[in-house]
Amino acid sequence: MRIGRRVVFAPQPLTACPFIVGSVATPARPNFTPYLAPSRGARPGARVEAPRAFDALPDGARVLVTPACGTPLLLVEELARQRGRWASIEIVTGNLHAPLAVTAFAGEPFHFSVVQPSEFMPARSNGGPAEVIPARYSDASRLYLPGGPLPVDAVLVTVSAPGPGGRFSLGVSVGSVVDAVRSAPLVIAQVNREMPYTFGASELRRDEIDVLVELDGPIVELHRAAPGDEARAIAAHALTQIPDEATLQFGIGAVPEALMGLLGERRELGVHSGMIGDGVADLVAAGAVTNARKFFDAGLIVCGEVIGTRRLFDWVHNNPLIQMAPAAYTHGVPVIARCHRFVSIQSALQVALDGSINAETIGSKQVGGPGGQPDYVEGAAAAAGGIAIHALPATAAGGKFSRIVPQLDAGAAITTPRYLADRVVTEFGVAALRGRTLAQRAAALRAIAHPNFRESLA
């Protein structure tokens, strides 16, 4: 992927559903309307050339940029080129998987706020340009709305070429931005023929978009390294906690990747998740994920983000089994609580002996955000038979430090409070914490700490 200049090329044809084998009856599509902000509609849907894309953007605007694999890179490059038009612009975004051209002009005129710091938009406390907004993923359903705590003046998105009925699709990144798209004063879309067409809340009529700019270029991909021995050992222990017919939620990381490689031995699994990656497509192909036992949305994978490679994007293109949903649906605790045998797989940086979990900071340095972890952990606690797994290596820095600690570091965030802690998994085993006393929790966590640190945790 080339960043920093416009890239226009003749895209390759998208291939629909290459992983699906045989004939599959299409299930009924869910109705996400009650979980979405009302659509303003009646927008002009004007097609313009890139130099005119920002004619209606006022000085001092707060601009939401789609994160993850839906980032409109070429549109953001155009915004950077036109920077002399404004004295100040605030950029708000989430977890980025590619650099933004505007970060080269921090303070001139761009200022940054982020709900999920990353290597491409690090927090000020970690040497980056962004102020951190502590927020769960589910907050996106109301955070950016008019009258909300962080109303945005404009939203920059990537959409597909027109599909069924002339509609556009937000494609691979929907949950954190769709409510703002429906309600913000200004919606500017990069129409990119490389963006797959997905169904569900991602679909937009032309009159739901103000400005359409045709700029074809690569979609942001996330390539994951093959899991190492440590991740595979952690995943093997986590696998023991996942029953057949479970409805799964995955995050990003080596352990979820390793776990998906092992789940082929399970049957009748379902997926209700904030994101899906390449491994989910493989589980569908293997017959492990059928979604047949889900209490609702049977036969469907429901998610808010598609994060992975071109192979995954081709799979979701025009695939009716994938339904893109808003944050209030993918991460809403009342929805999660209805899931059949819900299992959430989360990561962590530190776990204290009382069960408090930090997944955001190293000391006082903000290296991540809560993401959907608070939503899914609370949802698992509310679901009948729900399980929340926190999986992490027992040590950090090549074995120098224990991730199981007497108490979290001074200044560390508490992403999951101790009263919601459930199963903690390292390469040394599983600690079941729910319903345990503080002393029992400490003993269980010591047992899965690295042997070199168990005595110091006594």
Residue 25 has what pLDDT?
61
| Helical packing angle, 278-286 and 254-262, nearest 10° | 10
**8 Å CB contact between 266 and 246:** yes
Distance CA 138, CA 151 (A): 16
Nearest CA-CA partner of 137 in 346, 292, 319, 403: 346
Other Cβ atoms within 10 Å of 433 Cβ, number: 25
For residue 422, give the amino acid letter.
D
Nearest CA-CA partner of 173 in 79, 269, 76, 68: 68
Query: pLDDT of the chain along its 458 residues, tens only?
Result: 333 322 222 233 344 444 443 334 668 899 999 999 999 999 999 999 999 999 999 999 999 999 999 999 999 999 999 999 999 999 999 999 999 999 999 999 999 999 999 999 999 999 999 999 999 999 999 999 999 999 999 999 999 999 999 999 999 999 999 999 999 999 999 999 999 999 999 999 999 999 999 999 999 999 988 999 999 999 999 999 999 999 999 988 899 999 999 999 999 999 999 999 999 999 999 999 999 999 999 999 999 999 999 999 999 999 999 999 999 999 999 999 999 999 999 999 999 999 999 999 998 899 999 999 999 999 999 999 999 999 999 999 999 999 999 999 999 999 999 999 999 999 999 999 999 999 999 999 999 999 999 999 98
Pairing verdict, β 168-169 and 203-204: antiparallel
Distance CA 446, CA 67 (A): 38
**8 Å CB contact between 89 and 111:** yes
Q: Running DSSP on this structure, what letter comes out for residue 391?
A: E
Residue 69 has what pLDDT?
98
- Indicate the burial class of 175 (C-beta count within 10 angstroms; 0-12, 13-18, 19 or more): buried
Distance CA 95, CA 274 (A): 13
Find all residues with CB under 8 Å of 249, minimum gap 6, and list them. Answer: 271, 272, 273, 274, 336, 342, 343, 344, 345, 372, 376
- Indicate the burial class of 189 (C-beta count within 10 angstroms; 0-12, 13-18, 19 or more): buried
**8 Å CB contact between 364 and 410:** yes
The structure tokens listed for 379 are 């949802």
Residue 27 has what pLDDT?
84
Name all domains of the chain by residue range, CATH numbers in brackets: 56-214 (3.40.1080.10), 229-457 (3.40.1080.20)
Max CA separation in the chain (angstroms): 67
Distance CA 290, CA 129 (A): 43
Q: In Å, what is the CA distance from 52 to each residue of 9, 46, 74, 79, 81? A: 21, 11, 14, 10, 12
| DSSP-assigned letters across all residues of 19-35 | T--S--PPPPPP--GGG
Answering whether pTM is above 0.85, one says yes
Distance CA 120, CA 103 (A): 9
